[in-house]
Structure 1
Amino acid sequence: MFDGIPLQRSHGEAHISLDGGGLTELRQSGSGKVMLPRTYADVPEIVFLNTSGGLTAGDRLDYSLCLGAGMSARATTQTAERAYRAEGGCARATVTLQLGRGADLAWLPQETILFDGSALRRQTRVEMADEARFLGIETVVLGRAAMGETVARLALEDTRTVRRGGKLLLVDPLRLDDAALARAGGAALLGGARAFSTLIIAGPGTDLALEPLRAELDEPGVQGAASALNGRLVLRCLATDAWPLRRQMVRLISRLDPGGVPRCWQM
């Protein structure tokens, strides 16, 4: 509300389905868009876009992607998502990724930048059939260091859920609020970092990626650790600035995916 006048809110939805015959469904509305630019790799590259320019209180954004059996694809976002100061509520975002039997998806969105006073609730749901393979990352940046921004107030709920064959494989919840930020200088939380990433791999041969990825965790200014168990691998990195963290994630992705990062990640 501004002087009794309801503020305009953004609502966006973008959905795409691919199978062996190519594109089978494309649906988009509001600020949610999805594009299939000319591919420069051996697999389709899908780009999601929020034309509203960012998220604030009451906004809603939904992305979804469905890959048919045996399909391979890489999906990303056209630019970093931004969550701005929110008054009187939170922004909501959902990402739903469905992989058919033997499908292979790399979900590689660019960073989410949280501004002071932002409120974001996001859920990423991955539904995998047997023998499917999933690679996903999520990077969060607390303000832009180059602009001298600091984040003292926020409300973030960010949950990733992975199911394989209908059975729960991984739940990865994150919650940050004002109280947590006040304690975030401690080693048990962010240790002074303002940017952090999570990388998840699920599917056949996951355990084989553990040692090669650990060997790549040597970017100056970035701390990282990884573990693997029962067909899933989780790697986390922290950095005091987003730029070295991006360099680290680019190297990790390139190690896992011969195609490297999507073209719209231009360094």
Structure 2
Amino acid sequence: MFDAPVLQRSHGSALVHLDRGRLRDLSQTGSAKAMLPRTHGDRPEIVFLNTSGGLTSGDRLAYRVELGAGTRAVATTQTAERAYRADGPVAEARVDLVLGPGASLDWLPQETILFNGAGLAREARVELGAEARFLGIETVVLGRAAMGEEVGQLRFSDRRVIRREGRLVLLDPFRLNDDALTRAGNPALLNGMRAMAVLLLIAPDAADALPALRAQLDEPGVTAAASALPGRLVLRALAPDAWPLRRQMIRLIETLRPGALPRVWQN
């Protein structure tokens, strides 16, 4: 009899703190890296990277951005994140975004691809100061359609919590498991789709952008709907594959923010 092997797990965390264009703090440990590439825009750009190549059972990954009062920035990921089969505990991913009064952050990570048997618990917490502006997107893809991959087993939970000056603005939980996947063709669930996205705008004038956003919902094969209340706008979209959804979301992001998307989105 042999003891079960102890498998190596990936742990990483990265923090970037900017204050009015100046880098106040940069720390990174393990598999998490943060880069600040040279750009020609008026906002500094933060690019996060998980050097482990993906997430599997027991891995832990954390990204954090802090912006001082009046600071503007864009944060993204270098490539799509991947969650692989997890035979033990789920992987954990955490994002913390803290914006001072009047700050503005565009959180534009690339897709998360969930492979068959993946286990991932993910949470994003956003803390906004007075008059701060937050634009965020999250896209999830069930396998790679071009490779003929199907996802029939999954443990995935995704939770977004947004507060302004300590008061809850939005709580957005989502969960997919094996039982839900057996009913994924139901119109109340995924309606047979394998790519999904949520786009959020939290700003004093967020509701004003709703007509322009709805006017851009014209990508073939993509089903989307948007709604708004004072101070927040939420859009959800579904597609049979990642590429039409990506094209649609790019147009929506460009409608809500000036300037080009981060360079890594153009690869």
TM-score normalised by length of structure 2: 0.98
Distance of 2:243 and 2:156 partners within structure 1: 22
2:16: which partner in 1?
Answer: 16
Corresponding position: 1:39 with 2:26: no
2:49: which partner in 1?
Answer: 49
**After superposition, where does 1:125-164 map in structure 2 within 5 Å?**
125-164=125-164
Corresponding position: 1:92 with 2:92: yes
After TM superposition, give the deviation of residue 21 of structure 1 in Å: 5.3
Distance of 2:253 and 2:200 partners within structure 1: 11
Say if 2:20 and 2:72, in contact at 8 Å, map to a contact too. no
After TM superposition, give the deviation of residue 42 of structure 1 in Å: 1.3
**After superposition, where does 1:188-199 map in structure 2 within 5 Å?**
188-199=188-199
**Two-structure CA RMSD over aligned residues (Å):** 1.0
1:264: which partner in 2?
Answer: 264
Distance of 2:233 and 2:197 partners within structure 1: 14
- CA deviations 1:63-108 (Å, max 9, x no partner) are 0000000010000000000000001110000000000000010000
Identity of aligned residues (%): 65
1:245: which partner in 2?
Answer: 245
After TM superposition, give the deviation of residue 230 of structure 1 in Å: 2.5
After TM superposition, give the deviation of residue 40 of structure 1 in Å: 2.7
TM-score normalised by length of structure 1: 0.98
After TM superposition, give the deviation of residue 256 of structure 1 in Å: 1.0
Say if 1:130 and 1:165, in contact at 8 Å, map to a contact too. yes
Say if 2:21 and 2:44, in contact at 8 Å, map to a contact too. no
Distance of 2:101 and 2:86 partners within structure 1: 41
- CA deviations 1:100-120 (Å, max 9, x no partner) are 000010000000000000000
> Unaligned 5+ residue runs, structure 1?
none
Aligned length: 266
Say if 2:153 and 2:177, in contact at 8 Å, map to a contact too. yes
2:64: which partner in 1?
Answer: 64
Distance of 1:249 and 1:136 partners within structure 2: 11
Distance of 2:133 and 2:112 partners within structure 1: 24
SS at match of 2:204: coil
After TM superposition, give the deviation of residue 3 of structure 1 in Å: 5.6
